[in-house]
């Protein structure tokens, strides 16, 4: 029997062994190929994350391109200047959105300030239109954008206006108030001027499961507002004082930006209420109710252009978008985007944020 197996080149047992070896080699090559592709993508992501704000001189190199919107002349050569549109969408934060191994997508503060830097160098731009769809966000992030807009206007002398969409509340209105003129859609809700700070307390849960909190600290107040100890009314009073100061900062900013309102009038509006567009107009929070073409008309008049080209600066899609379009192309301002950004900012701090916006946004 053994001699017969040796003489037969088509021995089925030998064929099965070869087949197993071939399959193992092919599987190994496939796994290695997948691993190398993942490494390659990670390298691209890291390189992309390390890139700073784009400058006008190397716009294409840094992945930006100027796009002419259909609202302007069909031939850009017919335009007598350009109006730049900048979108401010989602929760306002300085934190990039974490998309896992695909890296991070640009945060609103970087997106806005980067484009303002580009516009400063683009002599064709005669005015800026902010299109805002946001429930607000971090107090510092909102204030940074407010000050960047004020600084941009001072340095360039260009008119800057805002168009509020479905939601432009709290920190989003804070930012809008830095603009020269504010329009709102008839269906806009805005306002919600105020400050919120979140504090959770786990002592009840800890008592239930017999968990004890032990803090070794350098001073009595080092574990101020720790969620693992009982609520201290003295500490709450201290934090309430800080919240009140942040509210005064909000009121000052709106008063500075909205010259038609006295500080007392702004303070009366700063009770956290939301305002429909018509109410916001009556209270002086906005200047006009209208649509995108109305905003273009207002900005054109202020910029002195009769036939402007309407442009945006967009980032080119790279490998991160090809391999991770689901994670990286969530529409800013959607429910999922708001949840993602709230997860980033709610770990600490105070916010100019309308907390109920996630259920109001499409």
Q: Concatenate the DSSP letters of all residues of 80-149 into one string.
A: SSEEEEEEEESSB-SSPEE-GGG-EEPPHHHHHHHHHHHHHH-TTEEEEEEEEEE-EEEHHHHHHHHHHH
- Residue from 309, 273, 275 nearest 187 by CA: 275
Name the domain boundary from 18, 34, 50: 50
- Are 103 and 158 part of one and the same domain? yes
CATH number of the domain where residue 185 is located: 3.90.226.10
- Are 87 and 126 part of one and the same domain? yes
Q: Domain tally for the chain?
A: 2
Res 115 pLDDT > 70: yes
Between the CA of residue 83 and those of 125, 298, 315, 345, what are the distances in Å? Answer: 6, 11, 18, 33
pLDDT class of 189 with cuts at 50, 70, 90: very high
- Are 113 and 137 part of one and the same domain? yes
Residue 75 lies in a domain: yes
- Phi, psi angles (nearest 5°) of residue 64: -100, 155
| Residue 163: other Cβ atoms inside 10 A | 29
* Cβ(88)–Cβ(172) below 8 Å: yes
- Are 240 and 326 part of one and the same domain? yes
**Active-site residue numbers?**
170, 222
Span 146-180, pLDDT tens digits: 999 999 999 999 999 999 999 999 999 999 999 99
- Are 59 and 177 part of one and the same domain? yes
- Are 90 and 28 part of one and the same domain? no
- Are 337 and 280 part of one and the same domain? yes
pLDDT class of 183 with cuts at 50, 70, 90: very high
Residue 201 lies in a domain: no
- Are 184 and 299 part of one and the same domain? yes
Mean pLDDT, the chain, rounded, equals 81
Q: Concatenate the DSSP letters of all residues of 273-284 into one string.
A: -EEEHHHHHHTT
* Domain span holding position 322: 55-196+232-359
| Residue 174: other Cβ atoms inside 10 A | 26
Of residues 315 and 22, which shows the higher confidence score? Answer: 315
Span 39-88, pLDDT tens digits: 555 554 444 444 333 344 555 555 678 888 877 776 777 788 999 999 99
- Are 185 and 37 part of one and the same domain? no
- Are 172 and 313 part of one and the same domain? yes
- Are 164 and 29 part of one and the same domain? no
């Amino acid at each position: 029997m053994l001699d017969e197996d040796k003489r037969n080149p088509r021995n089925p047992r030998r064929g099965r062994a070869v087949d197993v070896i071939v399959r193992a080699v092919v599987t190994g090559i496939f796994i290695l190929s997948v691993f190398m592709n993942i490494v390659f993508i990670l390298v691209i992501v890291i390189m992309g994350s390390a890139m700073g704000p784009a400058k006008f001189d190397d716009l294409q190199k840094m992945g930006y391109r100027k796009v002419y919107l259909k609202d302007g002349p069909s031939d850009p050569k017919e335009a007598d200047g350009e109006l730049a549109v900048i979108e401010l969408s989602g929760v306002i934060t300085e934190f990039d959105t974490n998309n896992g191994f695909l890296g991070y997508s640009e945060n609103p503060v970087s997106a806005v300030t980067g484009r303002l830097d580009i516009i400063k160098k683009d002599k064709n731009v005669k005015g800026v239109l902010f299109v805002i769809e946001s429930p607000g966000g971090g107090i510092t992030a909102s204030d940074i954008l407010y000050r960047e807009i004020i600084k941009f206007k001072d340095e360039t002398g260009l008119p800057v206006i805002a168009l509020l969409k479905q939601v432009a509340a709290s920190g989003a209105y804070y930012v809008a108030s830095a603009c020269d003129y504010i329009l709102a859609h008839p269906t806009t809700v805005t306002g919600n001027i105020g400050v919120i700070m979140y504090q959770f307390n786990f002592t009840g849960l800890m008592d239930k499961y017999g968990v004890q909190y032990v803090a070794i600290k350098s001073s009595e107040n080092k574990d101020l507002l720790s969620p693992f100890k009982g609520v201290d009314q003295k500490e709450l009073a201290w934090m309430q004082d800080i919240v009140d100061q942040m509210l005064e900062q909000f009121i000052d900013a709106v008063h500075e930006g909205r010259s038609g309102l006295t500080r007392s009038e702004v303070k009366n509006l700063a009770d956290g209420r939301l305002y429909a567009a018509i109410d916001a107009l009556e209270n002086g929070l906005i200047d006009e109710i209208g649509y995108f073409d109305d905003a273009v008309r207002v900005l054109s008049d202020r910029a002195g252009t009769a036939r402007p080209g309407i442009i945006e600066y967009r980032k080119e899609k790279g490998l991160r978008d090809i391999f991770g379009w689901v994670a990286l192309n969530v529409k800013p301002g959607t429910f999922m985007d708001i949840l993602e950004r709230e997860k980033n900012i709610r770990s600490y701090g105070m916010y100019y944020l309308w907390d109920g916006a996630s259920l109001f946004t499409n």
